[in-house]
Amino acid sequence: MTRINGFVGRRNLLKLAGIGGAGIAASAVKSGLLLNGEEAKAQTTPTKTEKRPRPVSPDEALKKLLRGNERFVAGKRANPNQSQLRLLETSVAQYPYASILGCADSRVPAEIVFDQGLGDLFVVRVAGNVASQTAIGSLEFSSAVLGSQLIIVLGHAKCGAVIAAVKGDPLPGRIGIFVEEIKPAVESVRQKTGDLEKNSIIANIQYQVKKLPETSTILGNLVKEGKLKIVGGVYDLASGKVTLVT
């Protein structure tokens, strides 16, 4: 697959999606790809290619993320890519090397816990880190269009959304919508020995990791082609450490 400045070409995007047709391509560009004039220009101007950051493989992306988390845990954050220059660079285009599907919990801000900066991470946060339809769409965009080669589903200890799914009580408003998306994971470990809450938090991460390529043809095909890796991690609120669980 060819990438222009980190972007998968339109034809390849359709191939990934398992669909074809110029009409779909035109509407995808028109409506969904969110390219402003400068970004579109950056994609098609060959002279810009040399300025593109070196592509990061899925494995390198994971190592880079985990190294950032180690710095955070050790209290040695480097706060990379937060200069005025970086601000200017990223105002032209973005090439995030990794995507995060994390919980909206105020204690788990992705850029801080992974010690990253502007334009590094494409972050989707929703209570319970669920692979909802809109979350999947956002991750398809970051992976197939922006060229991010890693997705980490990041759950955490004491997740209120998972605890609500474990309890199963009726919930007001639309709170129940994301809780429903966690329940299959909880049910899969309800009979398991040990702490149901802890088991459910891990099971939910693993369930959402599995769900992404299964329900998204675009993500599934990228994984098959070795262009994308999807992993799960659990964040410890006290130590700040991320531990892989897939």
Can you give the binding site for Zn ion, defined by CB under 5 A? 103, 105, 159
Q: Answer whether 138's CB lies under 8 Å from 218's CB.
A: no
Nearest to 53 by CA among 109, 111, 102, 92: 92
Token reading at 34: 């969110």
159 assigned ligand-binding residue? yes
CB of 94 to Zn ion, least distance (A): 26
Q: Residue 220: in which H helix or E strand, if any? A: helix 217-224
Q: For Zn ion, give the closer residue by CB, 159 or 222.
A: 159
CB of 154 to Zn ion, least distance (A): 10
105 assigned ligand-binding residue? yes
Q: For Zn ion, give the closer residue by CB, 71 or 158.
A: 158
Q: For Zn ion, give the closer residue by CB, 94 or 204.
A: 204
Token reading at 20: 């074809």
Residue located via tokens 């474990």: 166
CB of 171 to Zn ion, least distance (A): 15
The alpha carbons of the chain give a radius of gyration, in whole angstroms, of 19
156 assigned ligand-binding residue? yes
Q: Answer whether 101's CB lies under 8 Å from 151's CB.
A: yes
Q: Give strand ranges (E) for 27-119.
A: 98-102
Q: For Zn ion, give the closer residue by CB, 103 or 152.
A: 103
Q: For Zn ion, give the closer residue by CB, 145 or 159.
A: 159
Rounded alpha-carbon distances, angstroms, from residue 144 to 25, 74, 209 = 14, 34, 17
User: What does residue 214 show for φ and ψ, rounded to 5 degrees?
Assistant: -75, -35
C-alpha 99/C-alpha 97 separation (Å) is 7
CB of 86 to Zn ion, least distance (A): 29
CB of 34 to Zn ion, least distance (A): 27
Residue numbering of the annotated binding site for Zn(2+): 103, 105, 156, 159
Q: Per the annotation, where are the binding residues? A: 103, 105, 156, 159
